[in-house]
Chain A
């Protein structure tokens, strides 16, 4: 153990990186990295297929995603919102809590901020920066309270948190809709007939301060500050989870509840703390999304809780809730979501709901991410190449291959023989079949002429016969068939190649015939045939015996 520690301390940065991702010993981190990359690849492939359904070149569309998102001013703030929303989900997933309440918390924090700012504008005529910070503070507090409600439901009442959080989302959505609907005349505007919306454009949101100019978004300071803050927060969370006692407790609860309780963590307290932290993050995400980006909240009758929160679930799932990797995945998702906003301008046949399709496909591939642990195509090929290089493996491999064919050779041979038999004799057989059919027809004509029931129609029908006649007819048929078979066997079969025919008769439908004729016809040939059969089997067995002897000798020599 000490030697390995010394080795690890002496490694330089490149070696450490190599050890992390390409070494056999450090399994989980490397595996997770590959899993998430495989799942992203799968998602992209399915997405391209779904684009190809609409008859466009998928590569072209994907490139336009990147171009559009670069041009769009909303690109960088969306990255920040996605990072915060995903972090709030990731910390819960680490602790084993499936918190889907993020959309609701984002909505309520944004709603309260907008209401406060609107009130200020109506009463005082203008909004100061102090008001904005107060509004953000209150909004974040409400989102924390909302997530604490969920925490209380989970810890002290043991309600299933998935269902409870979905219900809370809908309750928050309908409360907001009710408040907006009441205050249509007084404070909050009703923009269209179907959509109630809170239109809020404060002085805080002018292009100079917060809003980002589309022509020069690189110069705008606020977007970059937001990005830096979000990256710093995610790094801090990574440090907390990785190196502190608190983070270790969170991970432990997520891995095994019973073990963590046994080792002395207070589970109830821990869930309260983690959910309040996630409420804080989702409140910040709501602030960026509703005040920083849009400046308004659209609530229509058909809509539900925001899709941003649901996308965040995919973002955190696809990278196994790793806070640092969340940055990369949120960049990818924001490329997809922002880039696909105005797709219909460039590709008119594409539907407007393509963003929903893409996010749906990605979230499903994210759910599949953990399934790729056993999917190791590169390792399979590498292992095969390494094994083929060794002579012993190669010999064994080819020997098995040979053994397989020797074992199944009898089956193959018989199929071959049957085919060749049919190929040689089918013309002769068909003449015999014709002959016997004519005999059958003559008999039927006889019956028709003698019987009174067939006078109207000359066609023979089996059902019109009486019972005795039926039995007679069936007897006649069976005798005829036996005769036919015997003739077939006699003329074309046995005289040409006796051994072959009997072997075939043993394995196929001719078996009964073989048994019947055993006493009558084949008596003269039988002893020859059986001897030869024995000989053929003994040949194979003798070969095997020789091989086995050789093996034994080799083993004995080795010893």
Chain B
């Protein structure tokens, strides 16, 4: 059980960081489907620099080395995301295609890098994790670790900066209506480039967390694909409607589902048979939630709630006290759902390269 909880937490870290990195770009009007690839690149940079620094430490790596390696992973993520920035901002290409291409390009780059720096197609080196207890023994005190501080600070800082500061308002305005933002005196392309840099750094750190937690025995193989966690992060962003706090909460649920699939043998009696179904659950869950939170279904639900409230308010029923309160609350819920359905598709200018002539 302790293993399950620990892996849940580390999946939560990876998923929430991936989701926030997508939110930063999509708030600035850039579709970012290449998060999976960026995470892979961050993981490779973490492992390669660990391998390169290994001879300097003479086999006894300090755990505090993790901080330096996280920075290197962030740099790798930034370098890889600059490709996406070039296509989406500078050359005004198709952002969906470039995102798909990045996901396929990243394992190719890792392969070449690994053959250049590592032993044949793998690396055998493990940096000890920076945490209180030992997570291999199943101590729950190892929740207090570097990855916890990093994720929680990133979630809180991004939430505050995007919602409460002037900088965040500019960020969101670029995603909603870049022409108006430009007319108001905001440098649109500068903000888009900043968003690319931030998201690359965060996704790189997410990849570093993944590889430091889940590489089996410090072994890093070529066909590491981060288990497709980047795609789940995209789904989390859509479900949480481009808001950081909701992204954190929903990534907790997803992490629970994902960890349940991984630890099926320990949790259930017939674990080996059910394992594929359990591993399928997060994907199925995203589909169902996306259907429930889509615009047509939300409007349908709001109509349903409105009908309930109006049915109670009919004169022959004579509502007083609780009935009145209930109908009012139903009305409030239907209004809220209508509001949500209007914002179902995210930032309005997402996916459109900024065209100054449309101003």
Selected contact of A361 from candidates B96, B108, B280, CB within 8 Å: B108
B273 touches A164 (CB 8 A): no
Q: Is B101 an interface residue (CB 8 A)?
A: yes
A360 touches B286 (CB 8 A): no
Give the distance in Å from the alpha carbon of A38 to the alpha carbon of B228 in the complex.
Answer: 32
Q: Is B82 an interface residue (CB 8 A)?
A: no
B101 touches A366 (CB 8 A): yes
Q: Is A333 an interface residue (CB 8 A)?
A: no
**B289 CB → nearest A CB, Å:** 10
B101 touches A157 (CB 8 A): no
**A436 CB → nearest B CB, Å:** 49
Give the distance in Å from the alpha carbon of A182 to the alpha carbon of B280 in the complex.
Answer: 15
Q: Is A484 an interface residue (CB 8 A)?
A: no
Determine which residue in B100, B102, B277 has the highest number of CB atoms from chain A within 10 A of its CB, and name it. Answer: B100
Known A-B contacts A160-B238, A162-B33, A364-B105; the reply to A304 vs B290 at CB < 8 A is no
B116 touches A359 (CB 8 A): no
Known A-B contacts A163-B235, A171-B283, A178-B277; the reply to A98 vs B96 at CB < 8 A is yes
Specify which chain A residues have a CB less than 8 angstroms from the CB of B186 in the assembled complex. Answer: none
Q: Is A156 an interface residue (CB 8 A)?
A: yes
**A302 CB → nearest B CB, Å:** 7
Selected contact of A170 from candidates B283, B295, B296, CB within 8 Å: B283
Selected contact of A370 from candidates B93, B222, B275, B295, CB within 8 Å: B93
Selected contact of B291 from candidates A157, A351, A359, A364, CB within 8 Å: A157
Specify which chain A residues have a CB less than 8 angstroms from the CB of B344 in the assembled complex. Answer: 158
Specify which chain B residues have a CB less than 8 angstroms from the CB of A159 in the assembled complex. Answer: 287, 290-291, 294
Specify which chain B residues have a CB less than 8 angstroms from the CB of A162 in the assembled complex. Answer: 33, 96, 100
Known A-B contacts A162-B33, A181-B276, A351-B121; the reply to A360 vs B296 at CB < 8 A is no
Closest chain B residue to A360, Cβ basis: B108
B104 touches A363 (CB 8 A): yes
A353 touches B111 (CB 8 A): yes
B87 touches A353 (CB 8 A): no
**A54 CB → nearest B CB, Å:** 7
Proximity string of chain A (137-175) to chain B, C-beta cutoff 8 Å, 1 when within and 0 when not = 000000000000000010011111011101110110011
Interface residues of A: mostly helix, strand, loop or mixed?
A: helix
Selected contact of A360 from candidates B104, B231, B297, B345, CB within 8 Å: B104
B231 touches A163 (CB 8 A): yes
Q: Is A469 an interface residue (CB 8 A)?
A: no
A163 touches B286 (CB 8 A): yes
Q: Is B279 an interface residue (CB 8 A)?
A: yes
Q: Which of B275-310 contact A (CB under 8 A)?
A: 275-277, 279-280, 283-284, 286-287, 290-291, 294-297
Give the distance in Å from the alpha carbon of A304 to the alpha carbon of B103 in the complex.
Answer: 14
Q: Is B107 an interface residue (CB 8 A)?
A: yes
Closest chain A residue to B288, Cβ basis: A167
Specify which chain A residues have a CB less than 8 angstroms from the CB of B98 in the assembled complex. Answer: 367
B97 touches A317 (CB 8 A): yes
Selected contact of A357 from candidates B111, B116, B272, B284, CB within 8 Å: B111
**B88 CB → nearest A CB, Å:** 11
Q: Is A327 an interface residue (CB 8 A)?
A: no
Proximity string of chain A (78-107) to chain B, C-beta cutoff 8 Å, 1 when within and 0 when not = 000000000000000000001010000000
Known A-B contacts A351-B115, A364-B101; the reply to A171 vs B280 at CB < 8 A is yes
Q: Is A267 an interface residue (CB 8 A)?
A: no
Specify which chain B residues have a CB less than 8 angstroms from the CB of A370 in the assembled complex. Answer: 93-94
Specify which chain A residues have a CB less than 8 angstroms from the CB of B100 in the assembled complex. Answer: 98, 100, 162, 313, 363, 367
Q: Is A177 an interface residue (CB 8 A)?
A: yes
Known A-B contacts A175-B280, A357-B108; the reply to A170 vs B228 at CB < 8 A is yes
Q: Is A229 an interface residue (CB 8 A)?
A: no
A351 touches B111 (CB 8 A): yes
Specify which chain A residues have a CB less than 8 angstroms from the CB of B109 in the assembled complex. Answer: 360
A182 touches B273 (CB 8 A): yes
Specify which chain A residues have a CB less than 8 angstroms from the CB of B142 in the assembled complex. Answer: none
A367 touches B87 (CB 8 A): yes
**B51 CB → nearest A CB, Å:** 17
**B262 CB → nearest A CB, Å:** 11
Chain B: how many interface residues by the 8 Å CB criterion? 50
Q: Is A53 an interface residue (CB 8 A)?
A: yes
Q: Is A296 an interface residue (CB 8 A)?
A: no
**B221 CB → nearest A CB, Å:** 9
Specify which chain B residues have a CB less than 8 angstroms from the CB of A428 in the assembled complex. Answer: none
Closest chain B residue to A49, Cβ basis: B112
Q: Is A211 an interface residue (CB 8 A)?
A: no
Proximity string of chain B (239-261) to chain A, C-beta cutoff 8 Å, 1 when within and 0 when not = 00000000000000000000000
Q: Is B78 an interface residue (CB 8 A)?
A: no
Specify which chain A residues have a CB less than 8 angstroms from the CB of B280 in the assembled complex. Answer: 170-171, 174-175, 178
Q: Which of A302-339 contact B (CB under 8 A)?
A: 302, 304, 310, 313-314, 317
Q: Is A368 an interface residue (CB 8 A)?
A: yes
Specify which chain A residues have a CB less than 8 angstroms from the CB of B115 in the assembled complex. Answer: 53-54, 351
B291 touches A367 (CB 8 A): no
Q: Is A341 an interface residue (CB 8 A)?
A: no
Give the distance in Å from the alpha carbon of A156 to the alpha carbon of B295 in the complex.
Answer: 10
Give the distance in Å from the alpha carbon of A54 to the alpha carbon of B284 in the complex.
Answer: 42
Determine which residue in A162, A166, A310, A313 has the highest number of CB atoms from chain B within 10 A of its CB, and name it. Answer: A166
B222 touches A351 (CB 8 A): yes
A167 touches B283 (CB 8 A): yes
Specify which chain A residues have a CB less than 8 angstroms from the CB of B294 in the assembled complex. Answer: 157-159
Specify which chain B residues have a CB less than 8 angstroms from the CB of A163 in the assembled complex. Answer: 231, 234-235, 238, 286, 290
Give the distance in Å from the alpha carbon of A368 to the alpha carbon of B101 in the complex.
Answer: 9
Specify which chain B residues have a CB less than 8 angstroms from the CB of A366 in the assembled complex. Answer: 101
A363 touches B111 (CB 8 A): no
Q: Is B164 an interface residue (CB 8 A)?
A: no
A177 touches B276 (CB 8 A): yes
Q: Is B163 an interface residue (CB 8 A)?
A: no
**B67 CB → nearest A CB, Å:** 31
Q: Is B328 an interface residue (CB 8 A)?
A: no
Known A-B contacts A167-B286, A171-B280; the reply to A53 vs B116 at CB < 8 A is yes
Q: Is B266 an interface residue (CB 8 A)?
A: no
Give the distance in Å from the alpha carbon of A317 to the alpha carbon of B287 in the complex.
Answer: 27
Q: Is B2 an interface residue (CB 8 A)?
A: no
Q: Is A371 an interface residue (CB 8 A)?
A: yes
Specify which chain A residues have a CB less than 8 angstroms from the CB of B96 in the assembled complex. Answer: 98, 162
Determine which residue in A164, A356, A357, A359 has the highest number of CB atoms from chain B within 10 A of its CB, and name it. Answer: A357
Q: Is A294 an interface residue (CB 8 A)?
A: no
Q: Which of A36-75 contact B (CB under 8 A)?
A: 50, 53-54
**B242 CB → nearest A CB, Å:** 13
Give the distance in Å from the alpha carbon of A510 to the alpha carbon of B214 in the complex.
Answer: 66
Q: A175-B276, A353-B111 are in contact. List 9 more A-B contacts (CB 8 A).
A: A157-B296, A159-B291, A163-B235, A164-B287, A174-B277, A351-B115, A361-B108, A363-B100, A371-B93
A sample of 25 cross-chain residue pairs with beta-carbon separation below 8 angstroms, ordered by A number, consists of: A53-B115, A100-B100, A158-B344, A159-B290, A160-B238, A163-B235, A163-B290, A166-B231, A170-B283, A171-B283, A174-B279, A174-B280, A174-B283, A175-B276, A178-B273, A181-B272, A181-B276, A182-B273, A356-B111, A357-B108, A359-B104, A363-B100, A363-B104, A366-B101, A367-B87
